[in-house]
A and B are shown apart, each in its own frame.
Chain A
Amino acid sequence: KQEVTQIPAALSVPEGENLVLNCSFTDSAIYNLQWFRQDPGKGLTSLLLIQSSQREQTSGRLNASLDKSSGRSTLYIAASQPGDSATYLCAVSLEAQKLVFGQGTRLTINP
């Protein structure tokens, strides 16, 4: 059974720092991997999608990498801002697009 783990569960950093969020998964036979952010009480916002054949994707200050063989992905956030404070979720896609989610990392950026 696929399991997705995100470490740390919570992270607090000062504004302006570059930071890395980690995601690991137990079965490398994934279709793709997706990173989301979730603000308190809200739905999920898609940040980046990496297909299984890709190594990384970039969007603005965000860069996500994928190493399927080791079962790992990282989300790099450059020059963090208070508006980046949210919970970040990683999810891997199995057959028929069924997503398996990690528990998330709650990120706080301190001004």
Chain B
Amino acid sequence: DVKVTQSSRYLVKRTGEKVFLECVQDMDHENMFWYRQDPGLGLRLIYFSYDVKMKEKGDIPEGYSVSREKKERFSLILESASTNQTSMYLCASSYYGNEQFFGPGTRLTVL
């Protein structure tokens, strides 16, 4: 079975802190994605990566950066967390042209 894991299920941080969210997949997928999900706004793409060290902005990249040093690992970084970044963060991976598989999500609260 495809497995996508995320480093934390719940996270509470303070405004201004640097936050790292990690995602690991075990299926050798080229593509990896970070989304956030908010009530009334649905799922929105933050960043994605189609290869190691490659990244592309999604629809809402402001305030975020990403890192992909190894194929199986894709990190989302909040350089200076703000309260409007309180959300559910979902990571996904896929082979090109095939279905995306999602992790369990990280619910981040920024106080």
Q: How far is the CB of B11 from chain A (nearest CB, A)?
A: 14
B104 touches A103 (CB 8 A): no
Q: Count A-B pairs with CB separation below 8 Å.
A: 51
Chain A residues within an 8 Å CB radius of B96: 97
Q: Which B residues are closer than 8 A to A by beta carbons?
A: 4, 31, 33, 42-43, 45, 48, 50, 56, 58, 90, 92, 94, 96-105, 107
Q: Which A residues are closer than 8 A to B by beta carbons?
A: 31-32, 34, 36, 41-46, 49, 51, 89, 91, 96-99, 101-104
Chain B residues within an 8 Å CB radius of A51: 97
Q: Give Cα A104–Cα B38 distance, bound, in whole angstroms.
A: 12
B90 touches A43 (CB 8 A): yes
Interface of B is mostly: strand
B56 touches A43 (CB 8 A): no
Chain B residues within an 8 Å CB radius of A89: 43
Interface of A is mostly: strand
A97 touches B97 (CB 8 A): yes
Chain B residues within an 8 Å CB radius of A96: 48, 50, 56
Q: A43-B103, A49-B98 are in contact. List 12 more A-B contacts (CB 8 A).
A: A36-B102, A42-B104, A43-B4, A44-B92, A45-B102, A46-B99, A46-B100, A46-B102, A51-B97, A96-B50, A98-B45, A99-B100
Chain A residues within an 8 Å CB radius of B48: 96-98
A43 contact from B33, B98, B99, B105, Cβ within 8 A = B105
Chain B residues within an 8 Å CB radius of A98: 45, 48, 58
Chain A residues within an 8 Å CB radius of B94: 97
Q: Considering only CB atoms, which chain A residue lies closest to B90 in the complex?
A: A43
Chain A residues within an 8 Å CB radius of B99: 32, 34, 46, 49
B104 touches A43 (CB 8 A): yes
A101 contact from B43, B58, B103, Cβ within 8 A = B43
Chain B residues within an 8 Å CB radius of A104: 42
Q: Give Cα A34–Cα B100 distance, bound, in whole angstroms.
A: 8
